[in-house]
Amino acid sequence: MRDTLTRLCWLALLLTPSLQAQEVAPPMVDQIPLPLERLYASPGLSGPSPNGVKFSPDGRRVTFLKAREDDAQRYDLWQFDVATGAPSRLVDSDLIDAPGTELSEEEKALRERKRIAGRSGIVDYHWGTASQILVPSAGDLHLVELDGETVQTRQLTRTDAFEYDTKVSPKGTYASFIREGAVYAVDLVSGEETRLTPAAEPDKAISYGTAEFVAQEEMSRYTGYWWSPDDRYLAYTRVDESPVDIIPRFDIAADEVTVIEQRYPRAGRPNAVVTLFVRDLKTGSVTQLAEVGPEDYLARVNWTTTDMWFQTVDRDQTEIRYHRAPTADWTIRRVHIETHSTWVNLSKDFRALDTGDLLISQELDQAGDGAFRHLARLAPESGELTPVTSGAWEVDAMVGVDAEAGYAYFTGYRDSVLERHLYRQSLIRPDAPTERVTPLGRTWTISMAPDAKSYVGTSSSPEQPPQTGLYRADGERVAWIEENRLDESHPYSPYLQDHTVPRYGTLEAEDGQTLYYSLQLPPDFDETKSYPALLEVYGGPHVQTVDRDWERLSDQYYTRQGYIVFRIDNRGSAHRGKRFEDVIYRRTGGPEVRDQLVGVDWLKQQPFVDPDRIGIQGWSYGGYMTLMTVLQAAPGTFAAAVAGAPVTDWSLYDTFYTERYMDRPQDNPEGYEASSVFPYIGALDTPLLLIHGMADDNVTFDNSTRLMAALQEQGKTFELMTYPGQRHGIAGEKLRVHLMRTRLAFLGRHLGAAQQ
């Protein structure tokens, strides 16, 4: 990598004059109104922004997925040559994924879990060696082989079965994947295909190497098999879903109705039983390591050069248990337990250091300030935990370790709750201060090089859409990968004159904690006039909606229609530590609602807000919050409410998510009753629009049908919009336009436009 850095230095010297940060004046082009259809058309108004950024194993290339200008939902695989600074398209998706390819039910479900439903072309890829990239497409696998300037692709599988969860083993020996509920591998030299686990038994609901529903949806664990660093061992799961209830789900499309018998573990009901095995590919031996469930969860599996580590979580989710299994004899020892009285939060932070210690992150108690996530060293033999960072602020994620210089790199919120930055902490000098690497004023996403000597950083601000550059580890930019400059050629240029930037401020919750809000005003705002306001709400755990980044362009559209857009992050939301989160323990829809109403009270006091024309809308947990807020607010608080895909009763939602905050229904019946919308629906006096996809496999459609029936039984009128064939998100340009038009028509009837 030293040669690479030398090339970077020369490149920086050559490019420095043209790469200095510049203030961008609004382009001198004719400004026109922003049409609704343009909001979702191609090219995207925010401009090009790389997705899935990764370094090659040798650090010589940066690869990423880039949307096409003529189709913002279709992606090709691109590369950025570190030595020359030249970007180029590496793989045209048309070569391996014909437009219009029909996806299997498994692929649709997996994309829904990964929040990439609606995308096409190349949506995922995996580096093997520095000359191998594995690309799954249309249920088959393609290997991209790089030889200097030559790029060749070859199809590794060609079957009617759906092959997914594809990987190249660390040494590049095998390409592996799941087919029909078992793990297979193709030898990349001989082309020989081998099944590495037992065959699935679908009649018994048993599969191998897969991730059960809650692992994918709630733990962000999308795989059930893991290669050792030397390609010798394969750890894999046996997933027995036979204890899990079958929930018949109607998948209602435009022209047909399919009954899908989905294994869906609702709160309080049985989970899958997951057993962890390891196969020695050299000897062929298979060892059973642990059986987890139905009262525990397998959360994480990691390898070091000598050990396999796995983390389990108890059913109450108050403990994360770290287990070590040396390859020498597979004797399992529990090394460490992270515990909290309410619930524990998972992370993916795990790195073996040269000293033999592990670098992990844990929510560590800070004197008087509650628990915040911080980096810590874990001694594998003693289990002793030594904090590496500290303070009343959150570490977001570890992104790299420079073993040579002795630095740990991570993202976090030390300087501002509203901005995520890259930081580094010395591992050699424990008392050294934490250093911020990225400049203030923006929010950053980081992909670190394998040796942590450089990184790809994507940043944005309310004034600047996402920009992606290659940077040295000290923060000096080497070259733009995608400058996305707001000049005359930018897609947003014709509409930039009316661009508005949020005002940020703070309010105080009932317990004295600080609540951050954002206020977006119309472009022709006149403080002497009175405007309708729209409260955009999510409010659930692990999400933050108020931050300094490139704001949602739908907000820009609302403000151009004369609405004020207001957001406030209530207690229970992300990046504020456990004390801020824990207020919802065993009772949701209470503290969050009161915090939202603090924001509404403040809005009503502003002279430029019409207190009789305030609306509220949200999706998913935000749909739940919309309902709970209007049902518990004083009569007349809101003039309109739009609830999309709402949870209406937590007993209908899955175990891992729901029980983390609520315990099991049988252990907290009063909390479940108070956290459901049904006890409050008699108080509905706000015009309500209910929206739901009719094939939703996350917040299942019966959440809304039960609400419809209850409202009808009590004589409560409401409006309804359903989307045949759509899952938890509404995908597709035409449908997204329709959804926005539906919302606007409803809001317009009840909130009207700004007074002139």
For 466-489, write each residue's pLDDT tens digit.
999 999 999 999 999 999 999 999
pLDDT at 93: 84
| CATH number of 130's domain | 2.120.10.30
Which three-class secondary structure state does DSSP give residue 638?
coil
> Looking at the structure, do residues 552 and 697 belong to the same domain, yes or no?
yes
Q: Which of 154, 189, 224 finishes a domain?
A: 189
> Looking at the structure, do residues 581 and 702 belong to the same domain, yes or no?
yes
Q: Could you say which DSSP state residue 732 is in?
A: S
Confirm whether 107 is domain-assigned: yes
Confirm whether 456 is domain-assigned: no
**195-201 mean pLDDT:** 98
Q: Smallest Cα–Cα separation from 20: which of 477, 549, 488?
A: 477
> Looking at the structure, do residues 113 and 212 belong to the same domain, yes or no?
no
Which helix (H) or strand (E) is 736 found in, with range?
Answer: helix 733-751
Domain residues for the domain of 105 are 48-189
> Looking at the structure, do residues 515 and 654 belong to the same domain, yes or no?
yes
Confirm whether 736 is domain-assigned: yes
Lowest mean pLDDT of 126-135, 215-224, 286-295, 681-690, name the range.
Answer: 126-135
| CATH number of 672's domain | 3.40.50.1820
Q: How would residue 458 be classed by pLDDT, with cut points 50, 70 and 90? A: very high
- Checking if the pLDDT of 3 tops 50, the result is no
C-alpha 465/C-alpha 547 separation (Å) is 14
> Looking at the structure, do residues 166 and 240 belong to the same domain, yes or no?
no
C-alpha 144/C-alpha 97 separation (Å) is 14
Confirm whether 693 is domain-assigned: yes
pLDDT at 347: 96
- Checking if the pLDDT of 224 tops 80, the result is yes
> Looking at the structure, do residues 117 and 257 belong to the same domain, yes or no?
no
Confirm whether 350 is domain-assigned: no
- Checking if the pLDDT of 23 tops 60, the result is no
- Checking if the pLDDT of 82 tops 70, the result is yes
Q: Which residues are catalytic?
A: 620, 696, 728
C-alpha 361/C-alpha 377 separation (Å) is 8
C-alpha 201/C-alpha 181 separation (Å) is 8
Residues 421 and 436 sit within 8 Å (Cβ to Cβ): yes
pLDDT at 312: 98
Tell me the whole-structure pTM to 2 decimals: 0.90
> Looking at the structure, do residues 169 and 109 belong to the same domain, yes or no?
yes
> Looking at the structure, do residues 703 and 556 belong to the same domain, yes or no?
yes
What are phi and psi for residue 733, nearest 5 degrees?
-60, -50
C-alpha 389/C-alpha 333 separation (Å) is 27
pLDDT at 129: 85
Q: How would residue 72 be classed by pLDDT, with cut points 50, 70 and 90? A: confident
Question: How much of the chain exceeds pLDDT 90, in percent?
Answer: 75
pLDDT at 107: 64
Q: How would residue 9 be classed by pLDDT, with cut points 50, 70 and 90? A: very low
Terminal alpha carbon distance of the chain? 62
Task: Give the orientation angle of helix 591-604 with respect to helix 621-632, to 10 degrees.
Answer: 70
Pairing of strands 296-303, 307-314: antiparallel
- Checking if the pLDDT of 8 tops 70, the result is no
606-617 confidence digits (pLDDT tens): 999 999 999 999
Confirm whether 370 is domain-assigned: no
- Checking if the pLDDT of 118 tops 90, the result is no
> Looking at the structure, do residues 200 and 300 belong to the same domain, yes or no?
yes
Q: How many domains does the chain have?
A: 3
- Checking if the pLDDT of 753 tops 80, the result is no
In the structure encoding, which two tokens stand for residue 146, read together? 């790089």
484-512 confidence digits (pLDDT tens): 999 999 999 999 999 999 999 999 999 99
Q: Which of 189, 216, 237 finishes a domain?
A: 189
> Looking at the structure, do residues 130 and 237 belong to the same domain, yes or no?
no
351-368 confidence digits (pLDDT tens): 999 999 999 999 987 655
Which helix (H) or strand (E) is 629 found in, with range?
Answer: helix 621-632
In the structure encoding, which two tokens stand for residue 204, read together? 């018994």
Q: How would residue 30 be classed by pLDDT, with cut points 50, 70 and 90? A: low
> Looking at the structure, do residues 627 and 742 belong to the same domain, yes or no?
yes
Q: Is 220 left (phi over 0), alpha (psi -120 to 50) or beta?
A: left
Q: 84: which residues sit within 8 A by CB, 6+ positions away? A: 11
Q: Taking all residues of the chain, what is their mean pLDDT, rounded to a whole number? A: 90
Q: Which of 340, 374, 395 finishes a domain?
A: 340
Confirm whether 469 is domain-assigned: no
Q: Could you say which DSSP state residue 311 is in?
A: E
> Looking at the structure, do residues 179 and 236 belong to the same domain, yes or no?
no
Confirm whether 35 is domain-assigned: no
Q: How would residue 25 be classed by pLDDT, with cut points 50, 70 and 90? A: very low
- Angle 342-343-346 (CA atoms, 0-180°, nearest 5)? 160
**677-692 mean pLDDT:** 97
User: Which amino acid is it at 258?
Assistant: T
554-590 confidence digits (pLDDT tens): 999 999 999 999 999 999 999 999 999 999 999 999 9
What are phi and psi for residue 5, nearest 5 degrees?
-65, -35
pLDDT at 253: 81
Alpha-carbon distance values, 531 to 498, 604, 636, 688 (Å): 17, 11, 17, 21
